[in-house]
Structures are given as structure tokens and as C-alpha cells.
């Protein structure tokens, strides 16, 4: 009895035999578009050689698609799509989906009306899958996802639970890098402006800051909570200067907040980095053009979007992807 009759041949084995990626093999088997002729022939040959039998449930899901996926962001402001971070995420998602026949629907889903609309959309299978971002606390959107009869991928991990499928950045490790950089520069009175503490990224970056200062034996009580926006950063910096006039460095949990903070420091007559060193987070394009250019923690924002879309496509093809945490790195510029 041959080996492939003793057990079911896997999609991974087909992909390896064909010399293609697992997702490419899945697209060929499910007759998805946008696969090169050479890859299609190689996969079809591997299927015959190995005696691969596609999973019936996965094939049914793949062939009953309605042709659209949703990116739902838990925000009540349309301005979120003008935020450089979310704009780059959308670019990343779109770059993957444009190779398929799937359309991308964007939804702001904070209000009860918007949540009802999304719930109805999922219940009636008007979308093939959902990507969720910017979950706040015990967010109703997360509970909608749990009940959804379509695949769901999270961009970032919520505070209250760890979903089955998600793509995230190493926020905690990146914040440690930022704070350690300030310690290495000789700063000893290091404050932080956090992001939203009911979001996973905000909480993780705050923890990274605390951990780095604990290791260095430095005080971690100079804290003001922000909201990831430029104006929120400005407000938080004014409060920090009022409450902790002795600070000599600030780790700020987003570049947008850092940009607002730089404006406040300039107005207050504080030199950067002479009086106060600044490190941001995200490495958005404008971080390179501040005065001075902003030291920041870079995360692959477009890759975050691309990997979310790829994970969702894998689920639609019947795969079982593993959660993914993308690396972060310190980018030193003139603000430190």
C-alpha cells in the first residue's frame, strides 16, 4: 500500500512538490484567478502525482464567495482614513486583493447603527471575510466576529482576549527598544505619552516602556495618556511639562502624537534633543521631515495590511494560518 493511501496528502506536500507557495497551490486547486500558467501546471501535476484529494468544505467555501471582504475599523471619525497609519494599512491590503477578484469594503463601526449594519452584512453573507482593527476594550465588534459565519482576521490584538487569527507588530519590544535608546543616550528622567490604553498597541507600548525603565532602575511615573492623534499628543505634552518640568526625554507611542509634541516643545522654548530627547513610534513618512527629524520605532505598516489580507485569503482557501507578529526596529534620527 503506497504512503499516500495510508494517510491524506496535505496541501503543504502538494506545494512543496510543485515548488510553489502554499497559498499559490491553494489558489490553483480552488480555480482562483491570477495564477501563472507555469504554477498552475506544476500544481496540477503534483496533485496527480501525490493523489491529493481537496478538502470538500474548503472547496465549497472557496467556490461560494460573493466577491467582497470588509475592513472594519472601530472608530467614530471618518478622519481615521486620513491617518497615515491606516492609509498605509489600506494600501497594503489593496496590493494583495488587487491580485484577486475580491473587492474591499471599508467600514467605521463604532456606533450601534454601524455595528448593526455590519452584523447584518455578516449574517446574510454579503461578505466573504472580515478584517478588524483598532478594537477598544471589550469591543462589541469582537463579539460580532465570534458569531460570524465567515473568516475573521484581526489587525493587532485586543486588550481583553487573543483571537485565533491575527497579524500584529512587536509593540512591546519596539517600546523597549525606544526607551533603552533614551537610557543609552544618558537620559534619566524619561516620560511617556501613551496611546489609548483600551487598545492592544497602546497597552503593549506602555508595558515596554515600563520594562525598560525597570531594568535600568529608573523612575517610570512620568506618564500622561494620549489617544494616538496629533492634537492628543500636543495636549499630553503640555500636561507633561506642567507636571514634570524636569523631564529630559519622552517616549511617545505614535509619530502623530510626537509631531504634536514637537510643536508644544518648540513653543515652550525647549530644544530637541538638547533639553528633551524624543522617540516616536510607527515611522510614518512625515517622521522624516519634522524639525528635527524624528527618531522612531519602525514597524512594517504596509506589510501589516498585506499579511492581514494574505491570512484572510488563506482562510478563504481552507488553510489554517498561524498568528503573525511582525518585527519592529529603532530608527535613530536627530531628535535624540
pLDDT at 1 (0 to 100): 40
Residue intervals of the chain classified under CATH 1.10.260.40 are 3-54
CA-CA distance, 267 to 264, in Å (whole number)? 5
Query: What are the φ and ψ backbone dihedral angles of 69, each rounded to 5 degrees?
Result: -130, 160
pLDDT at 257 (0 to 100): 97
Question: What does the DSSP assignment read for 203-268?
Answer: HHHHHHHHHHHHHHT-----EEE--SSHHHHHHHHHHHHHH-TT--EEEES-HHHHHHHHHHHHHT
Using an 8 Å Cβ cutoff, are 223 and 215 in contact? no
pLDDT tens column, 102-149: 889 988 876 677 777 887 877 777 888 899 998 777 777 777 766 777
Using an 8 Å Cβ cutoff, are 252 and 314 in contact? no
Identify each DSSP E strand in the chain by its residue range: 68-73, 103-108, 129-133, 152-155, 166-169, 190-194, 223-225, 249-252, 277-282, 295-298, 324-326, 329-331
Element (H, E) at 303: helix 301-316
C-alpha cell of 307? Answer: 499579511
Number of neighbouring beta carbons within 10 Å of residue 109: 26
Reported CATH class of domain 171-298: alpha beta
pLDDT at 5 (0 to 100): 43
Mean pLDDT score across all residues of the chain = 88
Residue intervals of the chain classified under CATH 3.40.50.2300 are 68-168+301-325, 171-298
Reported CATH class of domain 3-54: mainly alpha
The CA angle 250-227-324, to the nearest 5 degrees, is: 90
Domain 68-168+301-325 belongs in CATH node 3.40.50.2300: yes
pLDDT tens column, 184-224: 999 999 999 999 999 999 999 999 999 999 999 999 999 99
pLDDT at 78 (0 to 100): 65
Counting as low any pLDDT under 70, the low residues of the chain are 1-7, 23, 32-35, 55-65, 76-79, 81, 110-111, 145-146
Full-model pTM: 0.79
- Residue 129: strand pairing partners: 69
Amino acid at each position: 500500500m503506497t504512503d499516500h493511501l495510508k494517510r491524506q496528502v496535505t496541501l503543504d506536500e502538494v506545494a512543496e512538490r510543485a515548488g510553489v507557495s502554499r497559498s499559490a497551490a491553494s489558489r490553483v486547486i480552488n480555480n482562483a484567478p491570477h495564477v501563472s500558467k507555469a504554477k498552475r501546471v506544476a500544481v496540477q501535476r503534483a496533485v496527480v502525482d501525490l493523489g491529493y484529494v481537496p478538502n470538500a468544505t474548503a472547496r465549497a467555501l472557496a467556490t461560494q464567495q460573493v466577491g467582497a471582504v470588509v475592513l472594519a475599523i472601530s472608530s467614530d471619525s471618518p478622519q481615521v482614513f486620513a491617518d497615515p497609519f491606516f492609509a498605509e494599512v489600506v494600501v497594503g491590503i489593496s496590493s494583495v486583493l488587487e491580485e484577486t477578484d475580491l473587492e474591499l469594503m471599508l467600514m467605521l463601526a463604532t456606533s450601534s447603527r454601524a455595528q448593526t449594519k455590519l452584523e447584518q452584512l455578516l449574517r446574510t453573507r454579503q461578505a466573504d471575510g472580515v478584517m478588524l482593527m483598532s478594537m477598544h476594550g471589550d469591543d462589541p465588534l469582537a463579539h460580532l466576529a465570534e458569531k460570524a459565519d465567515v473568516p475573521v482576521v484581526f489587525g493587532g490584538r485586543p486588550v481583553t482576549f487573543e483571537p485565533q487569527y491575527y497579524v500584529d507588530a512587536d509593540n512591546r519590544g519596539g517600546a523597549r527598544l525606544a526607551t533603552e535608546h533614551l537610557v543609552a543616550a544618558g537620559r534619566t528622567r524619561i516620560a511617556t505619552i501613551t496611546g489609548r490604553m483600551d487598545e492592544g498597541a497602546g497597552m503593549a507600548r506602555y508595558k515596554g516602556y515600563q520594562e525598560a525603565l525597570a531594568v535600568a532602575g529608573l523612575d517610570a511615573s512620568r506618564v500622561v495618556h494620549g489617544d494616538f492623534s496629533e492634537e492628543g499628543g500636543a495636549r499630553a505634552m503640555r500636561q507633561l511639562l506642567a507636571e514634570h518640568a524636569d523631564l529630559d526625554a519622552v517616549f511617545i507611542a505614535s509619530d502623530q502624537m510626537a509631531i504634536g509634541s514637537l510643536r508644544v516643545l518648540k513653543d515652550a522654548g525647549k530644544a530637541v534633543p538638547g533639553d528633551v530627547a524624543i522617540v516616536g513610534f510607527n515611522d510614518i513618512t512625515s517622521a522624516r521631515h519634522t524639525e528635527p527629524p524624528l527618531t522612531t520605532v519602525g514597524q512594517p505598516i504596509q506589510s501589516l495590511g498585506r499579511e492581514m489580507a494574505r491570512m484572510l485569503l488563506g482562510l478563504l482557501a481552507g488553510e489554517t494560518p498561524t498568528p503573525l507578529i511582525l518585527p519592529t526596529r529603532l530608527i535613530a534620527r536627530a531628535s535624540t
